[in-house]
Structure 1
């Protein structure tokens, strides 16, 4: 039998959410706004599946290059190749 290799395979620890008292998804993460050329950290929230980037990009820093609806278009290098990701703001955190 061949094992499945889905999008979330080998992510048991990476996609584990830290429990905290109160709401698990504060509304402030959903309504945060970013400007073009902002640097953001990609921190995947495993409880929100929509607009989630591939787990390979978890922990990476990217630059906001545009918007698409409610989501943001991010540009980053994966090795030597330039990539564009479409990610909703629940999975992003502004770099200070």
Structure 2
């Protein structure tokens, strides 16, 4: 039988929540607005599947380039290239720097 290589494969520990953090995220996180040029961290929220970027971008820091509907276009450096990913605000955290 062939091995499955789905979107969330090999993310057993990456997409787990701490026991006290389980359940849905606060509503204010979904209503968060960012402006162009803001620095954000990509932190995946496994309780929200919509607008989730690929798990390889978990933990990366990028810059907001534009807004597309409810989602944001984030430019992230991946290896030697810059890539634009689309993510909803539930999967983004504001950078303190």
TM-score bucket (shorter structure) = over 0.9
TM-score normalised by the chain length of structure 2: 0.93
Extract unaligned runs of 5+ from structure 1.
none
Q: Indicate conservation of the 8 Å contact 2:23/2:47, yes or no.
A: no
Corresponding position of 1:60:
60
Corresponding position of 1:8:
8
Q: Distance in 2 between matches of 1:62 and 1:11?
A: 21
Corresponding position of 1:40:
40
**How many pairs are equivalent?**
96
CA RMSD after TM alignment? 1.5
Q: Could you tell which deviates more after superposition, 5-14 or 19-28? A: 19-28
SS in 1 for 2:48: coil
